[in-house]
Amino acid sequence: MGALLMGAPLLAVNDAHAAPPPQVRGSSPGYYRMMLGDFEVTALSDGTVTLPMDKLLTNITAAQLKTQLARTGLDPSHVEGSINAYLIHTGEHLVLVDAGAGKALDPNASGRLLNSLRAAGYRPEDIDAVLLTHVHVDHHSGLTVDGKAVFPNAVVYVEKNEADFWLDASNEKTVAEELRAGFAQAAASFAPYLAANKVKKFTGSTELFPGVRSIAVPGHSPGHSFYAIESKGQQMQFWGDLVHVKDVQFRSPGVTIKFDLDAAAAARQRLKAMNDAAAKGYYVGAAHISFPGIGRVLADGKAFTWLPVNYSVAGLKP
């Protein structure tokens, strides 16, 4: 080989290969797909958000937090959490659970939902329903960008108490400082859908489509909702913000966060939901657990363990 190259006029080519292009950095998980009975479920990545959990988590000491996060090598002052949305093709409907952060957070880290959606083979105009787990910026701001409805053919479903709370700016003084900008953002997100009469407020736990229902879990926010889907006896629940820090809250479900409107209620809902998921064994999709945020819950003594799905190219068939 060496002999063949010697003396060959390859200098220019060799120079071109001397240095590769700059490192690209960053990751783009895009989408993850699985079947649930006859329903196709696609986890869509909107990116991530990095938060100072040492300043945000409550009901835990600084030392406890440090110890718990050290097990997974995370620094409490910079915990990078995923922002996941979920697309469900029921055969009759194409339903999106949560809409990502749009331009509300760091554009270098989040607001990637549409890229993920297109990579997954669908267009924004294909979606006929967006179900919001709650009205926090990282779940609804992707509905509307620069005043335009991103999902022009979709009806936005949101629990009535949730919508009424966040669309009334006089409630601003009742929430943590970190959440106050959410009122103006909510008004902007909902505006084109309200103008087109495409916001549907439902109350509590209710069936929205065949095989798709909401479950009322107030606590984190006034009308925080899970969505449960069921096809051919298989069940999956989408948990919204039941868990913010997987490496802490499965072990200690009583740990809360400043974003909770009613922290005690949020902790009760977490314990109840984890017990139910562990007892029944259904799949869970969670907005802030590392992408794709799909897994199952195992009982582990007095606490719980998160069991992420196995990666599958063909599409997991549980």
Sequence-separated (6 or more) residues with CB below 8 Å from residue 64: 252
Q: Does 241 bind Zn ion (CB under 5 A)?
A: yes
**Cβ contact 159:202 at 8 Å:** yes
Please report whether residue 136 would count as binding Zn ion according to CB under 5 A: yes
Find how far residue 195's CA is from the centre of its chain: 27
Nearer to Zn ion, 178 or 276 (CB): 178
> Hey, is 153 helix, strand or coil?
coil
Please identify, using beta-carbon distances, which residue of 162 and 241 lies nearer to Zn ion: 241
- The one-letter code for the residue type at 83 is I
Q: How far is the CB of 178 from Zn ion (least distance, A)?
A: 10
Pairing of strands 283-285, 234-238: parallel
Least Å from the CB of residue 20 to Zn ion: 41
The stretch among 38-46, 67-75, 129-137, 141-149 that binds Zn ion (CB under 5 A) is 129-137
By CB under 5 A, how many residues form the interface with Zn ion? 2
In the complex with Zn ion, which residue's Cβ is closer, 136 or 270? 136
Minimum separation from the CB atom of position 270 to Zn ion (A): 13
Q: Which residue type occupies 168? A: D
- Range in contact with Zn ion (rule: CB under 5 A) among 134-142, 147-155, 198-206, 210-218: 134-142
Should residue 198 be labelled a site residue for Zn ion when binding is judged by CB under 5 A? no
Min dist CB 186 to Zn ion, Å, is 12
Residues 287-316 that bind Zn ion (CB under 5 A): none
CB 94 within 8 A of CB 122: yes
Contact between 146 and 119 under an 8 Å Cβ cutoff? The reply is no
Please report whether residue 140 would count as binding Zn ion according to CB under 5 A: no
Torsion, Cα of 149, 228, 212, 126 (10° steps): 30
Residues that bind Zn ion (CB under 5 A): 136, 241
